[in-house]
Structure 1
Amino acid sequence: MAATIETIAELGYGQASFARIAERAQLSSTRLISYHFAGKNELIEAVMAEVYGEITAFMAERMREATDPPSALAAYIRGVVAFVATHRKQMDALMSVFLGVGAEVDDGSHDEDGERRVFTPLQQILESGQQSGDFRTFDSFVMAATIQRSLDGLPYLLRTAPDLDLDAYAEELVTLFTLGTAAATGTTTHGVNTP
Structure 2
Amino acid sequence: MPARPRGADGARQPTVTERARRRQLVDVTTELVAAHGYAACSLQRIADAAGITKGAVIYHFASKNAVIRAAYDSVIDALTARVAEAVQTAPGPAAAVDAYVESMVGHMADHPTHVRVLAEALAPATDTGVDDAPASPTRQRALADLIAAAVAAGEYRADLDPATLAVIVHGAIDAVVAQTLTDPGYDLTAATASILDVLHRATAR
**Structure-1-length-normalised TM-score:** 0.83
In the alignment, which residue of structure 2 is the partner of 1:141?
Answer: 163
Aligned residues: 175
Whole-angstrom distance in 2 between the partners of 1:160 and 1:111: 23
Partners of 1:66 and 1:173 in 2: how far apart? 18
3-state secondary structure, aligned to 1:133: coil
Could you tell me how far apart the structure 2 residues matched to 1:121 and 1:179 are?
21
Question: Which residue is 1:47 aligned to?
Answer: 71
Q: Percentage identity across aligned positions?
A: 27
Q: 1:152 — aligned with what?
A: 174
Report which stretch shifted further, 70-79 or 154-163.
154-163
Structure 2 residue aligned with 1:10 = 35
Instruction: Provide runs of 4+ in structure 1 moved above 6 Å.
Output: none
Name the structure 2 match of 1:122.
143
Distance 1:169 1:129, change over 3 A: same
Deviation at 1:126, TM superposition (A): 0.7
| 1:111 Cα deviation from its structure 2 partner | 6.7
- Among candidates 110, 114, 132, match of residue 153 of structure 2: 132
63, 85, 90: which one aligns with 1:61: 85
Q: CA RMSD in A?
A: 1.8
Superposed counterparts of 1:56-95, under 5 Å:
56-95=80-119
Which protein has greater RCO, CA pairs closer than 8 Å, 6+ apart? 1
1-structure distance, mates of 2:96, 2:174:
18
TM-score, normalized by length of structure 2? 0.79
Unaligned runs of 5+ in 1: 184-195
On the 8 A contact 2:120/2:126 being kept in 1, the answer is: no
